[in-house]
Amino acid sequence: MIYLAESKVVQVNIWKELRKEINKTIGELSGLVLLTHNSVEFSDIVDFLNKVKRDESLKVMYISLINSYKKIKETLKEKPLANKNLFVVDCVSGFLIEIQDTVDCIYRKPPSNLEGTKDIIKKNLQLVSPNMIVIDSLSQFVNFSSPADADLQNLYKFLQTIKEDAMGITNDTVILLYDDKSGAMKKLPSMFTNTILKLEVIKEEVEWQD
Protein backbone atom coordinates (compact mmCIF):
# COMPACT_ATOMS: atom_id res chain seq x y z
CA MET A 1 0.00 0.00 0.00
CA ILE A 2 1.31 3.44 -0.95
CA TYR A 3 0.54 6.38 1.31
CA LEU A 4 0.50 9.80 -0.32
CA ALA A 5 1.44 12.73 1.89
CA GLU A 6 -1.15 15.48 1.96
CA SER A 7 -0.23 19.13 1.97
CA LYS A 8 -2.14 22.24 2.90
CA VAL A 9 -1.66 25.88 2.04
CA VAL A 10 -0.52 27.79 5.12
CA GLN A 11 0.13 31.15 3.49
CA VAL A 12 0.10 32.76 0.05
CA ASN A 13 2.69 35.44 -0.72
CA ILE A 14 2.29 37.68 -3.78
CA TRP A 15 5.45 39.55 -4.74
CA LYS A 16 5.60 42.56 -6.98
CA GLU A 17 8.71 43.54 -8.90
CA LEU A 18 9.44 47.18 -8.17
CA ARG A 19 12.34 48.03 -10.42
CA LYS A 20 10.74 51.24 -11.69
CA GLU A 21 9.10 52.17 -8.40
CA ILE A 22 11.74 50.98 -5.95
CA ASN A 23 13.59 54.28 -5.57
CA LYS A 24 10.37 56.06 -4.64
CA THR A 25 9.27 53.23 -2.36
CA ILE A 26 12.58 53.15 -0.48
CA GLY A 27 13.00 56.91 -0.53
CA GLU A 28 9.68 57.41 1.27
CA LEU A 29 10.04 54.42 3.59
CA SER A 30 8.34 54.75 6.97
CA GLY A 31 6.59 52.67 9.60
CA LEU A 32 7.62 49.15 10.59
CA VAL A 33 9.68 47.71 7.75
CA LEU A 34 10.83 44.09 7.45
CA LEU A 35 13.86 43.91 5.17
CA THR A 36 14.77 40.32 4.32
CA HIS A 37 18.07 39.63 2.57
CA ASN A 38 20.32 36.86 1.30
CA SER A 39 23.21 37.15 3.78
CA VAL A 40 24.38 40.52 2.51
CA GLU A 41 27.39 42.42 3.83
CA PHE A 42 27.09 45.51 6.03
CA SER A 43 28.27 47.59 3.05
CA ASP A 44 25.13 46.44 1.18
CA ILE A 45 23.00 47.61 4.10
CA VAL A 46 24.74 50.99 3.88
CA ASP A 47 23.80 51.18 0.18
CA PHE A 48 20.19 50.50 1.11
CA LEU A 49 20.11 53.05 3.93
CA ASN A 50 21.58 55.69 1.64
CA LYS A 51 18.48 55.35 -0.53
CA VAL A 52 16.08 55.86 2.40
CA LYS A 53 14.99 59.50 2.78
CA ARG A 54 18.16 60.60 1.04
CA ASP A 55 17.20 64.30 1.23
CA GLU A 56 16.71 64.30 5.00
CA SER A 57 19.33 64.59 7.72
CA LEU A 58 18.59 61.71 10.08
CA LYS A 59 19.95 60.20 13.25
CA VAL A 60 19.89 56.41 13.05
CA MET A 61 20.12 54.10 16.05
CA TYR A 62 21.65 50.88 14.71
CA ILE A 63 21.30 47.93 17.06
CA SER A 64 23.86 45.42 15.86
CA LEU A 65 23.73 41.78 16.89
CA ILE A 66 25.89 40.77 13.92
CA ASN A 67 28.72 43.25 13.32
CA SER A 68 31.00 44.90 15.85
CA TYR A 69 31.35 48.67 15.98
CA LYS A 70 34.96 48.25 14.84
CA LYS A 71 33.86 46.50 11.65
CA ILE A 72 31.07 49.01 11.10
CA LYS A 73 33.53 51.91 11.37
CA GLU A 74 35.92 50.28 8.92
CA THR A 75 33.11 49.82 6.41
CA LEU A 76 31.90 53.41 6.78
CA LYS A 77 35.38 54.71 5.98
CA GLU A 78 35.12 53.07 2.59
CA LYS A 79 31.40 53.63 2.11
CA PRO A 80 30.01 56.49 4.23
CA LEU A 81 26.39 57.09 5.09
CA ALA A 82 25.13 60.23 3.37
CA ASN A 83 23.02 62.66 5.44
CA LYS A 84 22.75 60.18 8.28
CA ASN A 85 24.37 60.19 11.70
CA LEU A 86 24.80 56.61 12.85
CA PHE A 87 24.66 55.73 16.55
CA VAL A 88 25.58 52.10 17.12
CA VAL A 89 24.47 49.85 19.95
CA ASP A 90 27.16 47.16 19.71
CA CYS A 91 25.77 43.91 21.11
CA VAL A 92 28.66 41.89 19.69
CA SER A 93 31.57 43.31 21.71
CA GLY A 94 29.63 43.83 24.94
CA PHE A 95 31.55 41.12 26.80
CA LEU A 96 34.92 42.85 26.32
CA ILE A 97 36.09 44.66 29.44
CA GLU A 98 38.61 47.02 27.88
CA ILE A 99 36.18 48.87 25.60
CA GLN A 100 34.28 52.00 26.65
CA ASP A 101 31.26 53.81 25.31
CA THR A 102 31.88 56.68 22.89
CA VAL A 103 29.81 59.58 21.57
CA ASP A 104 28.52 57.44 18.71
CA CYS A 105 28.53 53.94 20.19
CA ILE A 106 27.54 52.12 23.35
CA TYR A 107 28.39 48.51 24.16
CA ARG A 108 25.79 46.15 25.56
CA LYS A 109 25.67 42.42 26.12
CA PRO A 110 23.70 40.62 23.42
CA PRO A 111 20.02 40.15 24.33
CA SER A 112 18.88 36.55 24.59
CA ASN A 113 15.39 37.28 23.27
CA LEU A 114 13.16 39.97 21.78
CA GLU A 115 12.19 41.19 25.25
CA GLY A 116 15.84 42.03 25.89
CA THR A 117 16.05 43.79 22.53
CA LYS A 118 12.99 45.85 23.43
CA ASP A 119 14.62 46.89 26.71
CA ILE A 120 17.77 48.03 24.88
CA ILE A 121 15.66 50.18 22.56
CA LYS A 122 13.57 51.74 25.32
CA LYS A 123 16.55 52.47 27.58
CA ASN A 124 18.41 54.32 24.83
CA LEU A 125 15.62 56.23 23.10
CA GLN A 126 16.09 59.31 25.25
CA LEU A 127 19.88 59.14 24.99
CA VAL A 128 19.93 58.91 21.19
CA SER A 129 16.64 60.57 20.13
CA PRO A 130 16.75 58.76 16.78
CA ASN A 131 14.71 59.47 13.67
CA MET A 132 15.16 55.88 12.56
CA ILE A 133 15.93 52.57 14.26
CA VAL A 134 17.57 49.60 12.54
CA ILE A 135 17.69 46.18 14.21
CA ASP A 136 20.22 43.74 12.77
CA SER A 137 18.95 41.08 12.96
CA LEU A 138 15.64 39.35 13.70
CA SER A 139 17.25 36.11 12.52
CA GLN A 140 18.69 35.76 16.01
CA PHE A 141 15.22 35.23 17.49
CA VAL A 142 12.84 33.85 14.86
CA ASN A 143 13.06 31.53 11.87
CA PHE A 144 10.43 32.33 9.25
CA SER A 145 11.12 29.11 7.36
CA SER A 146 9.88 26.96 10.26
CA PRO A 147 8.65 29.31 12.96
CA ALA A 148 7.48 28.03 16.32
CA ASP A 149 4.15 29.42 17.47
CA ALA A 150 5.74 30.79 20.64
CA ASP A 151 8.40 32.63 18.62
CA LEU A 152 5.76 34.20 16.39
CA GLN A 153 3.67 35.31 19.37
CA ASN A 154 6.75 36.88 20.96
CA LEU A 155 7.52 38.63 17.68
CA TYR A 156 3.99 40.03 17.37
CA LYS A 157 4.13 41.35 20.94
CA PHE A 158 7.53 42.87 20.22
CA LEU A 159 6.31 44.63 17.08
CA GLN A 160 3.25 45.97 18.87
CA THR A 161 5.41 47.33 21.68
CA ILE A 162 7.78 48.98 19.19
CA LYS A 163 4.84 50.71 17.53
CA GLU A 164 3.50 51.97 20.83
CA ASP A 165 6.69 52.90 22.67
CA ALA A 166 9.43 53.59 20.12
CA MET A 167 7.67 55.24 17.20
CA GLY A 168 6.29 58.75 17.05
CA ILE A 169 6.47 62.04 15.20
CA THR A 170 10.27 62.30 15.14
CA ASN A 171 10.97 58.56 14.82
CA ASP A 172 8.62 57.15 12.20
CA THR A 173 10.77 54.36 10.75
CA VAL A 174 11.96 51.07 12.25
CA ILE A 175 13.79 48.68 9.90
CA LEU A 176 14.02 45.05 10.96
CA LEU A 177 16.66 43.07 9.10
CA TYR A 178 16.23 39.34 8.54
CA ASP A 179 18.70 36.95 6.91
CA ASP A 180 16.77 34.30 4.98
CA LYS A 181 19.70 31.85 4.72
CA SER A 182 17.72 29.23 6.67
CA GLY A 183 15.35 28.64 3.74
CA ALA A 184 12.09 29.69 2.13
CA MET A 185 10.04 31.92 4.39
CA LYS A 186 6.68 30.32 5.17
CA LYS A 187 5.30 32.89 7.59
CA LEU A 188 5.86 36.62 7.46
CA PRO A 189 4.40 39.19 9.88
CA SER A 190 2.51 41.02 7.13
CA MET A 191 -0.32 42.06 9.45
CA PHE A 192 2.11 43.63 11.92
CA THR A 193 4.40 45.49 9.52
CA ASN A 194 3.79 48.34 7.08
CA THR A 195 6.22 47.18 4.40
CA ILE A 196 8.10 43.98 3.58
CA LEU A 197 11.05 44.22 1.20
CA LYS A 198 13.61 41.70 0.01
CA LEU A 199 17.18 42.75 -0.72
CA GLU A 200 19.09 40.36 -2.95
CA VAL A 201 22.72 40.94 -3.81
CA ILE A 202 23.97 38.64 -6.55
CA LYS A 203 27.73 38.22 -6.67
CA GLU A 204 29.90 36.13 -8.92
CA GLU A 205 33.59 35.47 -9.11
CA VAL A 206 35.45 37.50 -11.69
CA GLU A 207 37.90 35.54 -13.80
CA TRP A 208 41.12 37.42 -14.43
CA GLN A 209 43.01 36.87 -17.64
CA ASP A 210 46.63 37.74 -18.19
| 91-109 pLDDT tens trace | 999 777 678 899 999 999 9
Backbone angles phi, psi at 166, to 5 degrees: -110, -15
Residue 208 pLDDT:
58
Backbone angles phi, psi at 63, to 5 degrees: -90, 110
SS3 35: strand
Residue 206 pLDDT:
59
Residues of the chain with pLDDT under 70: 1-20, 97, 169, 204-210
Give the range of the structural domain holding residue 139, as residue numbers without chain letter.
26-199
Question: Does the residue 13 lie in any domain?
Answer: no
Q: Distance between terminal CA atoms of the chain?
A: 63
Question: Does the residue 14 lie in any domain?
Answer: no
* Residues pairing with 136 in the sheet: 64
Question: Does the residue 125 lie in any domain?
Answer: yes
Question: Does the residue 18 lie in any domain?
Answer: no
Domain tally, the chain: 1
CA gap 98, 144 in Å, rounded: 37
Going along the chain, which residue ranges are E strands? 31-37, 58-64, 84-90, 105-107, 132-136, 173-179, 195-199
Residue 77 pLDDT:
95
CB atoms within 10 A of CB 91: 25
CA–CA distances in Å: residue 158 to residues 12, 115, 138, 151? 24, 7, 11, 10
Is the separation of the CB atoms in 34 and 193 below 8 Å?
Answer: yes
Question: Does the residue 206 lie in any domain?
Answer: no
CATH code at position 73: 3.40.50.300
* Closest-CA residue to 183 (of 143, 152, 155): 143
> Whole-model pTM?
0.85
Question: Does the residue 116 lie in any domain?
Answer: yes
| 4-13 pLDDT tens trace | 556 666 666 6
Question: Does the residue 178 lie in any domain?
Answer: yes
Question: Does the residue 184 lie in any domain?
Answer: yes
